[in-house]
Amino acid sequence: MKGEGKRSRGRCLAYVAAFIVFQTAIILAFALTVMRIKTPKVRFGAVSVENFSTGNGSSPFFDMRLMAQVTVKNTNFGHFKYENSTIKILYGGMEVGEVAVVKARARARQTKKFDVTIDISSANLSSNSNLGNDIATGVLPLSSEAKLSGKVHLLKVIKKKKSAGMSCTMGINLGTRAVQDLKCK
Ligand SMILES: *[C@@H]1O[C@H](CO)[C@@H](O)[C@H](O)[C@H]1NC(C)=O
Ligand SMILES: *[C@@H]1O[C@H](CO)[C@@H](O)[C@H](O)[C@H]1NC(C)=O
Ligand SMILES: *[C@@H]1O[C@H](CO)[C@@H](O)[C@H](O)[C@H]1NC(C)=O
Ligand SMILES: *[C@@H]1O[C@H](CO)[C@@H](O)[C@H](O)[C@H]1NC(C)=O
């Protein structure tokens, strides 16, 4: 009878150990997925061009309106609430237009989408830019930058500061008046 008691106690300890291992695995999995806070991603979805006007020759210029879809991809298990910000469009590293992004939130595990309209112009570029050459080749290279600063909220109590940066490059094809090679990091 003694042996019997020892064996069942041993089995009981084995169950407890298995339970602890199982519990630890669950907590670990939870910590590695749900609790891990990732930086949301901001990108341009699609961009189209309107009110297009460019000049070739001795006084090159461009004036146009970009209609862009912006996506804020939040893969966290809590929402991302961001503050007011601006998206800037650059040509040759110089700003040629910007648009305000009003503060909002991207829900948990959701990609928020919204449209912006950005008027861009070469008016403020210095005259020694490479604009004449770019217009002559038929493709205007542009880039965009933005930083959405905000917080990821988890389980109602955890808040972690995260800022989502946007950095895209694209070319405006002056022949087709369409955006090509849109790439975002
Ligand atoms: C852009 O074009 C539309 C019509 O296509 C016109 O109504 C609008 O006033 C133009 N905007 C600018 C800034 O030229
Ligand atoms: C954010 O932008 C909106 C709209 O432009 C403005 O009314 C609001 O005061 C701004 N909020 C902050 C905190 O700057
Ligand atoms: C160009 O410069 C003027 C005067 O400094 C400014 O008011 C305007 O907003 C600028 N335009 C762009 C597109 O940056
Ligand atoms: C600009 O001018 C050059 C030479 O005159 C020409 O080859 C080119 O096609 C023009 N580009 C555009 C976009 O009109």
Domain 37-184 classification at class level? mainly beta
Are 70 and 115 spatial neighbours (Cβ–Cβ below 8 Å)?
A: yes
Q: pLDDT tens per residue, the chain (185 residues)? A: 556 667 778 888 888 999 999 998 888 887 777 778 899 999 999 999 998 898 887 888 999 999 999 999 999 999 999 999 999 999 988 999 999 999 999 999 999 999 999 999 998 787 667 888 898 899 999 999 999 999 999 888 889 999 999 999 999 999 999 999 999 98
Q: Answer yes or no: is the C-beta of 97 below 6 A from any ligand 3 atom.
A: yes
Closest CA to 174 of 61, 75, 29, 7: 61
Q: Answer yes or no: is the C-beta of 135 below 6 A from any ligand 4 atom.
A: yes
Residue 52: per-residue pLDDT: 87
136: phi then psi, degrees, rounded to nearest 5: -65, -35
Are 101 and 84 spatial neighbours (Cβ–Cβ below 8 Å)?
A: yes
* Closest-approaching ligand to the CA atom of 132: 4
**Would you list the DSSP string of the chain?**
-HHHHHHHHHHHHHHHHHHHHHHHHHHHHHHHHTS-----EEEEEEEEEEEEEEE-TTS-EEEEEEEEEEEEEE-SSS-EEE--EEEEEEETTEEEEEEEE--EEEPTTEEEEEEEEEEEESTTS-TTSSHHHHHHHTEEEEEEEEEEEEEEEETTTEEEEEEEEEEEEEEEETTTTEEEEEEE-
Sign of CA dihedral 65, 143, 150, 78: positive
Residue owning the nearest CA to atom 1 of ligand 1: 51
Distance 103 CA to ligand 2 centre (A): 7
pTM: 0.79
Residue 4: per-residue pLDDT: 67
Residue owning the nearest CA to atom 4 of ligand 3: 124
Nearest atom in ligand 4 to 135's CA: 13
Output the CA torsion 71→76→78→79 (10° steps).
-20
Distance 182 CA to ligand 4 centre (A): 23
Are 98 and 89 spatial neighbours (Cβ–Cβ below 8 Å)?
A: yes
Residue 59: per-residue pLDDT: 84
Q: Answer yes or no: is the C-beta of 120 below 6 A from any ligand 4 atom.
A: no
- The Cα diameter of the chain in Å comes to 106
Residue 3: per-residue pLDDT: 61
Domain ranges of the chain: 1-36, 37-184
Are 185 and 168 spatial neighbours (Cβ–Cβ below 8 Å)?
A: yes
Mutate to test the pocket of ligand 2, among 83, 85, 103, 114 (most ligand atoms within 8 A of CB): 103
